[in-house]
A = this chain, B = another copy of it.
Amino acid sequence: MTKPMFDTIALIGIGLIGSSLARVIAAKGLASHVAIATRSAATLDTARELGLGDSYHTSNAEAVRDADLVIVSVPVGASEAVAREIGSHLKPGAIVTDVGSTKASVVSQMAPHIPAHAHFIAGHPIAGTEQSGPEAGFAELFENRWCILTPLPDADVDAIARLRSFWEACGSTVEEMDPDHHDRVLAIVSHLPHIIAYNIVGTADDLETVTKSEVIKYSASGFRDFTRLAASDPVMWRDVCLHNKDALLEMLARFSEDLSSLQRAIRWGDGDKLFEMFTRTRGIRRSIVEAGQDTAAPNFGRNGPKSNTGEAAE
């Protein structure tokens, strides 16, 4: 068999992303040894029961000691604490990366604590589900997904190349981006949609004239599509809001302005404006399906003949 890409990979944090990494590393033989570290003894036991690694640690410092690649998969708000713990224990040439959904904040939290003899390259695999915890992971999570790396200008090119190859071996396509630009892009494609989803589910939960059982019963008419995002890990999303604040507040302001104008069109019965607003959005859906970023099956293929792809009606 071919030599694995890395001798030892340390996974700090073993939730949906960390445990999916453990599974794909094992499935593809990308490391000789996988060291798993998490603060919670209970979560570590679960990881052990699932057989996700070769060694298990509650100390991050201990887990990274022999690691050639360290992947930090924790809520972004915990990044600095982790970097502080592992910094002085990294071996020369070790590559340190993360999977956080915000990048400028993670870079400023972690970079200062990574010694010159190691290589810090922040990253973000655009992959996930609404589920969390070590049981939720699966080896295929990163297949045909994008992974964005946000290396600093002085980052080691060989280290970037090795990290790139790692993600490609996981099935992803790698892009490089400036951390601030990453945060603006994700604010609109991911962070705002999650905030909006959480918000509308909360609004429905507060109604007096419509019962919760009615909301659940008739949710197939649109509402349920939002509940998937609103079921995501609350700690992760709290931290995203706190650590991509500026970009998110800008997107929220734009969204609210647009919504006020739509609300005004409804109040004043401006059918032409509503029609125009509701027409322009169809093209984007078509492009997303054409780009292979979503299924063309109507209703996400929840019902109806499999053969019925969207094209006919477009």
Listed in ascending order, the chain A residues whose CB lies under 8 Å from chain B are 16, 77, 126-133, 135-136, 138, 140-141, 143-146, 181, 184-186, 188-207, 209-210, 212, 214-232, 234-235, 237-239, 241-242, 245, 248-249, 251-252, 254-256, 258-260, 262-263, 265-267, 269, 271, 274-275, 277-282, 284-288, 291, 293-295, 298-305, 308, 310, 312-314
Contact = CB atoms under 8 A, between A and B. Distances in A.
B281 A201 contact: yes
A195 B304 CA distance: 25
9 nearest CB pairs, A to B: A129-B298, A131-B313, A190-B221, A234-B278, A193-B222, A231-B285, A135-B312, A136-B313, A230-B281
A135 B313 contact: yes
Given A128-B221, A129-B298, A140-B303, A188 B210 contact: yes
B131 A281 contact: no
Nearest to A218: B189
B300 A302 contact: yes
A188 B206 contact: no
A300 B241 contact: no
Given A130-B285, A231-B281, A281-B198, A190 B218 contact: yes
Contacts of A295: 302
Nearest to A230: B281
A302 B249 CA distance: 30
A308 B258 CA distance: 38
Contacts of A291: 216-217, 219
A199 B230 contact: no
Given A198-B277, A234-B282, A269-B245, A141 B222 contact: no
Q: How many of these chains are in the complex?
A: 2
A146 B189 contact: no
Given A188-B215, A238-B274, A274-B242, A313 B196 contact: no
B255 A203 contact: yes
A92 to B, nearest CB: 35
A88 to B, nearest CB: 29
Given A198-B277, A199-B277, 8 more contacts: A131-B312, A135-B313, A141-B303, A190-B221, A193-B222, A219-B293, A252-B259, A300-B300
Contacts of A199: 255, 258-259, 262, 277
Contact of A198 (B146, B188, B221, B278): B278
A95 B196 CA distance: 42
A285 B189 contact: no
B185 A210 contact: yes
Contacts of A275: 234-235, 238
A255 B200 contact: yes
Contacts of A222: 189-191, 193-194, 197, 229
B132 A313 contact: yes
